[in-house]
Amino acid sequence: MQKQMEAIVGTLYDGVLMSDAWCQGLADVCQQVDAGVFHSFSIGGAPSELSSVGNLESVGLHSGLMKEYEEHHASNDLRMSATLGLATGQLMLDHEHLSPLEMSRNSVYADWLIPLGVKHTAATRVRHAGSVSEFVSFMRFADAKPFGTYDRLFIERLMPHLSRAAALRARMGELSRQASLGIAALQTLPQGLVVVDAQCRIHFANPAAERLMTPPSAMNASHQRLKCASEALQTRLQHLVAQACGNPGKAGAFDSLVSASQTARLVVTVLPLKSSHVLAMSWQKPLALVILTVPGAIGALDHRLVSDMLGLSPTEARLLLLLAAGKSVKDFALVEGCSWHTARAHMKNLMRKTGCHKQVELVQLLQALQVG
């Protein structure tokens, strides 16, 4: 049993990232306990939750019928009621919970399972998170014996791995959906977004960045590295990128005035890329987010949005917006009704958190955040 168990465990963990491996792992369990059918599905989640997996079509239960079952008949399934009555990870063998008379009177058995030649079921809830529950079931054909002691022992020994792999698989699915939505949003932004490592190697660039880096731009991509049109600007860029990739990372910005042409001029802002950011998921090394924008007027930005984007307190965000509008720290103290000393303390915190050293850099930073 141990050898087969280890092989199946490995396949199930492969299934965290590969749906085919998850399906194969469940098929291997199905074979090990002499079942003919297996089914993995979740209920209570959004339509984008993990889809069902199984070999139900082999007994005539195609995807349309299974969707009908999951949406309309699962609530009347006595096997489901028995499984929900157990703790997550506990195994339900239907013949231990239901009498032959109860089975014959239940529509799921009478109208679905028995006409298809399927009867005996072993089922478990492998995951329960919020309103979402994920189930795995194995079914034997009607002419076979009910699941026995060996089958229970095998599945129960496998259960910790099955539950852990199911949870990891669900989490990866969630991250994948979040990343897809995030990337889709980033692709539509008017700002150029470039993700680079400490050596300025490009890991991601959205369409706006590719457009802004075409000649006669101050920035370009050469051999998958972010480059500036002049050596002085390149030195400045490398310094800011290294600073953003440091620990702790610091932000910075510069205005690349290389010609009288407005289209050739860019404001370049470099921000540390937090490991929790959608663009940082695939890499462990420190990364920086380089934002390319064409200089222009700063529109109305909400201080709460600025606070979330830059990790500032609401007060610091209001100070940043006021300074970018050409006001002074004294003006801020007057507006906020605080002392000059308190206003200067907020200013120091603002400079420290943004990595800026001059008021003009704060303006450039907000220009980079401006959506348009």
Per-residue model confidence (pLDDT) at position 46: 60
29 vs 298, residue with greater confidence? 29
pLDDT, mean of residues 17-34 = 93
pLDDT of residue 250 exceeding 50, the answer is yes
**Structural domains in the chain, sorted by start:** 2-180 (3.30.450.80), 189-295 (3.30.450.20), 298-372 (1.10.10.10)
pLDDT, mean of residues 14-30 = 92
Give per-residue pLDDT as tens, 187-220. Answer: 777 788 999 999 999 999 999 899 889 877 888 9
Per-residue model confidence (pLDDT) at position 277: 52
pLDDT of residue 346 exceeding 70, the answer is yes
pLDDT of residue 10 exceeding 50, the answer is yes
CA torsion, ordered 31, 34, 36, 38, to nearest 10 deg: -60
Per-residue model confidence (pLDDT) at position 263: 43
Q: Which of 288, 293, 301, 272 is nearest to 368 (CA)?
A: 293
Say how many C-beta atoms besides its own lie within 10 A of residue 136's C-beta. Answer: 26
Residue type, 129: A
Please tell me the pTM assigned to this model.
0.57
Q: Which residue has the tokens 């669900």?
A: 170
pLDDT of residue 281 exceeding 80, the answer is no
Run of H or E including 315:
helix 314-324
Average pLDDT score over the chain: 84
Give per-residue pLDDT as tens, 40-79. Answer: 988 876 654 556 788 888 777 777 777 777 677 777 899 9
Q: Which of 254, 217, 189 is nearest to 227 (CA)?
A: 217
Extended beta strands in the chain, E state? 37-43, 53-54, 91-93, 118-129, 132-141, 192-196, 202-205, 219-222, 225-228, 252-256, 266-273, 287-293
Residue type, 124: T
Q: How far is CA 269 from the centre of its chain?
A: 25
pLDDT of residue 185 exceeding 90, the answer is no
